[in-house]
Every structure is written in C-alpha cells, then in structure tokens.
C-alpha cells in the first residue's frame, strides 16, 4: 500500500523533471543544385509550423561569404540589409524568420565566414591556442559549432540553423563539416538534416528530372551528412515514381520526400503546403518532441484575405534600386501586410527615381493611388525622389517616406514651401547654404563603413493630434534605424512655422524622427525603417495607414 502510494507520487513528479532535462534539438537546413531556392522561406515556414504546435524555436543563418556582415555590400548583389533591434546588420532571410515566427533574433542569429575567421584570428593573437597551428579543422569548425550550440538553453525546444549558399560551394565546406560533427557530440537522435533541392522540369523531354537532386544529396553524403528529409522545389507535381526514385537513390524513406511546388499566389502559402505534406509530423517523430495540435487559423485568415480582397490599389515605389526587388524586400512584404489589414490587393510598381528626373513626376506618377520612397545611399536619383515627393504633396497623393525618403521630403518642403530654394543634404551637396539634412554629430570623424551607422531600436515620442499618433494608438514607440544623416535641428523652427509638423522626436536627444504635412490626407515620413517590424499577422501601423489612405484616394470614399 505504502509502495503503491510512493510510486504514484514519484511518477507524478516525472513530467516536470523530464521537462527540466529536455535537450535542445537542432535542425540544419541546407540547399543544393542552385541558389535562390528559398531556404530562408522554408526554414521560416518550418519554424512557424513548430511554433503552431506549441514548441519554442530559435533561428539562425550561417552565411559563407567573407564579409563580416552585409552592411557594406551592394543591394544589387545581396538585396536589402535587414536590421535587428540590437543593431545587427544581417541577411535578408532573417526578415522571413521574424515575419513568420515570434522568435527573438539577436547578433547570435547571423554569422558569416568573416566573423568566424575574425574571432579565431583574434583568439590566436591573444595566445589562446597555446602555440598550436591554427587550422580549418578543428579551430574554424569548433568556432562554428560554438556559435550554433550557444543557442541551447532550457527555454528552447528547437534551434533551426540555415546554411547559406549551395552544397558543393568551396566556401560552405567548413560549415557543413561543423554541422556534420554536431550529431556526434549531441547525439544523432537530437539532430536532423533537411535538404532543399531542385527537381527541374525539362520541356523538351516533357518530364521532371531527379538527377540534380541525386547529385546534390550525393555531395552531402560524401561529406558525411545523410539528409533526413528532402524538400523538393518543383514547378510540376511529383508523381509516385519520381518520389520513389528520389527516395531510393538518396537513401531516404518515401514519406520523407516532400514536394514544395512553386507558389505563384503568395509566399504565405508555403507553411500550409509543407504542413499538407506532414513535414511537422515527421520532424516531431524523429526528434521525439511532444507537441499540441497545430493552430493555423490566423494563417488561413491571411490567405483568405489575400484571395478575397474588397479593394485594389496601385502604389508607386520610387527608389534607386527599383528594378531589384530584393533591395526593398521588407517594404514589399510590409505593403502586402497593409493590404491584408485592409482587405486590399496592393499592386506595387517599382519606378527608378532617375526616370522621374528624365520624364517628370506628372507623366510618371499619374494614376497611382499612393507613393512610397524608401531608404538608400548615394546621390544618384535623389532629385527624382524630391520631385516625386513634391508631386505627392501638391496633389494630395498618400505618401510614406522612409529614411532617405524622409530626408528628401524635408528637402522638398524646405525648397518649395519654406522658400529655401537651395536647401539640400550635406551628404549630396556639402556646401549647400541651407543644410536642412546634415551628418549626425556622433558620426563626425567616423571613417570605417561597416557597423558604424546609427543602428537598431531607438525610442520616439509621438505628437498628439498627428496621424502617426493616431495610427500607432500610443505615444511612445521604438523603431529600428540605419542612417548617418538626420534632420538639422537648426531649421526646425523655420520649417514648423512654414507648416511642417514634427510628429515624432527622440525623447532625450530631440532628434526628429517623423515629419508630416497636417493638411494632407496622408503625408508621413519617418527616419527609421518601419518595414522591419511588420508581420502578415500584424501589419505595421504606418503601412496599414498608407494602404487605407490609398483605398480612400482610389474610391473617393472617406
């Protein structure tokens, strides 16, 4: 009797004991055949599905390039630089991670070959290797393992690490060798490899070809990595014979060959497509993770709104890199989020700002329902942005300016409303008689380019009665920054007297963060990057406000 009561009490204590001893599991996502297959989207989608099952997930991207971070890389080569709250300049895939999940990203969420080697060399200079010859194996691979395993903690069930680049690239080899070693140390039952690959359709042959996938997996297996799941990107459905061939030659079970067809409608279909193929069940079973039933009602609602819009608007995006969509990746996504919030299909037309310089704003922007001018660097196309903003201000066209877009809005207002005809930014015209935009005081004397701007989350206090205050619904906000130049406070009084509304300021430094034109239906320009904090499930207030204003402009109904 006593023994039975004791055992009952003992086993009653087992669940919390097991919970406290739970080992963090690791999922490694690799890609093969070609780049741009969508490893970031696939990784984010898997994380979202695991979160929907009640698991706690962290995410990380390891990039093989030697740059320390993407902050100094051309948008034409790398796309946008995504900025985190802590000021890290990271790969654009981290934007997918934040948009799809609730995971908190930090400097530990993105490492490059440059950072890895820099850390190892610094250790060598300090004598930490005790005179040993420093080599790729074990020193570089140990450093890579360390940055992966540092994410383990008792509050994390799964860490998903995406390996940038393509299997077979020489620069990816140290990362692949490092993740090969981790299961040997942490136990194969605690680690999983997911490989994203391409199954192309050859029109001439009229069939899908599995050989590229076989070769890609073959390279991984030569390295010592056996994929547990293959996610096959394809424009045509895989039939049973295709999947059987892939499973046989790649040494994976048939049910672990997952089809991921191209999504022409929306990237937000990807998680539901993967779930339909039961990828989350496969992961949970292999990693022996307890989980609740998936709750994806919110995601289904997103797709319902996208498929059944009540309105349609056209928005002009005027920028320096307009022809390169990835340069403004988060802005395109945030505009979609604004559309979701307003049951509206948003059609975005990219326009090079130089085109406005050549053809004029009247001809180029006629017929649009709103204008957005994003951030950027360099003098090329600046006058086209200023002219586009003037057109929006004078024609009551809804407008949102971001970073350089705000600075151009201030230049336009100073020139064409306040009477300062030669107003400019000292970034582009050092000797302007009216430097309404100037280098930040903290940037004086800074010569290094990488990681030296005003970066990361900064607070702002919103003015009562402003459109920004109404959009946010609160007076205190925090937004992410990436810039060196700012509104020149010496011109604040003069521009305010001319009618410019200072709608947001830093609570301590008095830096101007938001400007508005009060009489305009929607003219808001911000020094920060609101696009980095927008999600499909929670559109950023300024993007939701811009789309709402565009709907009003289009329909004429307030």
Give me the catalytic one of 98, 531, 540, 553.
531
Q: Where are the alpha helices (DSSP H) in 61-172?
A: 75-78, 93-100, 113-125, 141-149
Give me the catalytic one of 96, 195, 481, 529.
529
The strand pair at 25-31 and 344-352 is best described as unpaired
Q: Is 236 helix (H, G, I), strand (E, B) or coil?
A: coil
* Token pair for 398: 């809804």
Task: Work out the burial of residue 38: count CB atoms within 10 Å of its CB; fewer than 13 is exposed, 13-18 middle, 19 or more buried.
Answer: buried
Residue 177 annotated as catalytic: no
Distance of CA 238 to the CA centre of its chain: 30
- Omega of the bond leading into 138 within 30 degrees of 0 (cis): yes
Which position has the token pair 């040997």? 184
Q: How far apart are CA 545 and CA 290, in angstroms?
A: 41
Residue 403 annotated as catalytic: yes
* In contact, 337 and 543? CB cutoff 8 Å: yes
Give me the catalytic one of 403, 438, 520, 540.
403
* In contact, 60 and 43? CB cutoff 8 Å: no
The DSSP letter of residue 259 is E
Residue 531 annotated as catalytic: yes
Residue 216 host element (H or E): helix 211-223
* Token pair for 389: 């903003």
Which position has the token pair 């962290």? 58
Q: How far is CA 38 from CA 96, 108, 261, 301, in A?
A: 10, 22, 11, 23
Task: Work out the burial of residue 59: count CB atoms within 10 Å of its CB; fewer than 13 is exposed, 13-18 middle, 19 or more buried.
Answer: buried
* In contact, 466 and 516? CB cutoff 8 Å: yes
Strands of 191-198's sheet, edge to edge?
A: 110-112, 57-63, 158-163, 25-31, 191-198, 229-234, 257-261
* In contact, 521 and 315? CB cutoff 8 Å: no
Helix, strand, coil % (nearest 5) of the chain? Answer: 45, 20, 35
Residues 6 or more apart whose CB falls under 8 angstroms from that of 69 comprise 88, 89, 90, 110, 112, 114, 115, 450, 451
Q: How far apart are CA 422 and CA 361, in angstroms?
A: 20
The DSSP letter of residue 538 is B
* In contact, 105 and 59? CB cutoff 8 Å: yes
Look at the alpha carbons of 384, 390, 392, 395 in this order and tell me if their dihedral is positive or negative.
negative
* In contact, 246 and 232? CB cutoff 8 Å: yes
Give the residue numbers marked as catalytic: 403, 529, 531
């Amino acid at each position: 009797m006593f023994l039975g009561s004791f055992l009952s009490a003992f086993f009653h204590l087992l669940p919390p004991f097991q919970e406290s001893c739970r080992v963090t599991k690791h999922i490694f996502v690799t890609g093969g055949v070609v780049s741009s297959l969508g490893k970031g989207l696939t990784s984010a989608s898997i994380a979202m599905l695991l979160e929907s099952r009640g698991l706690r997930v962290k995410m990380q991207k390891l990039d093989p390039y030697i740059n320390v971070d993407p902050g100094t890389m051309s948008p034409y080569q790398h796309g946008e630089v995504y900025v985190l709250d802590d000021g890290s300049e990271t790969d654009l895939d981290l934007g997918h991670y934040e948009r799809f999940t609730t995971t908190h990203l930090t400097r530990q969420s993105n490492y490059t070959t440059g950072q890895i080697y820099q850390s190892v060399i610094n250790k060598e200079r300090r004598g930490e290797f005790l005179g040993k010859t420093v080599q790729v194996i074990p020193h570089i691979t140990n450093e890579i393992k360390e940055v992966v395993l540092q994410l383990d903690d008792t509050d994390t069930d799964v860490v998903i690490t995406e390996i940038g680049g393509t299997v077979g690239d020489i620069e990816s080899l140290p990362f692949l060798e490092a993740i090969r070693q981790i299961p040997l140390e942490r136990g194969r039952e605690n680690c999983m490899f997911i490989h994203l690959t391409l199954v192309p359709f050859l029109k001439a042959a009229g069939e899908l070809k599995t050989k590229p996938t076989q070769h890609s997996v073959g390279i991984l297996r030569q390295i010592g990595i056996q994929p547990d799941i293959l996610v096959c990107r394809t424009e045509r459905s895989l039939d049973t014979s295709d999947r059987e061939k892939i499973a046989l030659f790649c040494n994976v079970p048939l049910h672990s060959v997952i089809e991921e067809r191209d999504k022409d409608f929306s990237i937000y279909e990807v998680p539901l497509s993967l779930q339909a193929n039961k990828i989350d069940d496969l992961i949970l079973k292999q990693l022996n993770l307890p989980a609740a039933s998936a709750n994806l009602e919110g995601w289904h609602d997103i797709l319902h709104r996208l498929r059944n819009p009540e309105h349609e608007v056209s928005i002009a995006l005027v920028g320096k890199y307009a022809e390169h969509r990835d340069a403004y990746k988060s802005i395109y996504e945030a505009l979609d989020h604004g559309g979701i919030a307003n049951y509206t299909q948003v059609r975005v037309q990219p326009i090079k700002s130089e085109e406005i310089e050549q053809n004029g704003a009247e001809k180029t922007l006629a017929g649009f329902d709103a204008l957005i001018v994003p951030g950027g660097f360099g003098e090329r196309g600046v006058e086209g942005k200023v002219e586009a903003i003037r057109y929006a201000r004078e024609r009551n066209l809804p407008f949102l300016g971001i970073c350089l877009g705000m600075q151009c809005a201030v230049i336009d207002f100073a020139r064409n409303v306040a009477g300062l005809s030669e107003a400019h930014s000292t970034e582009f015209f050092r000797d302007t008689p009216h430097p309404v935009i100037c280098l930040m005081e903290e940037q004086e004397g800074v010569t290094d380019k990488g990681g030296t701007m005003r970066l990361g989350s900064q607070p702002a206090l919103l003015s009562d009665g402003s459109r920004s205050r109404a959009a946010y619904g609160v007076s205190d906000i925090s937004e992410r920054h990436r810039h060196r130049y700012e509104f020149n406070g010496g011109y604040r009084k003069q521009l305010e007297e001319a009618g410019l509304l200072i709608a947001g300021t830093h609570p301590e430094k008095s830096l101007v963060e938001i400007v508005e034109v009060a009489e305009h239906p929607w003219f808001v320009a911000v020094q920060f990057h609101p696009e980095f904090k927008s999600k499909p499930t929670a559109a950023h207030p300024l993007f939701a406000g811009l789309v709402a204003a565009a709907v009003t402009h289009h329909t004429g109904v307030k």
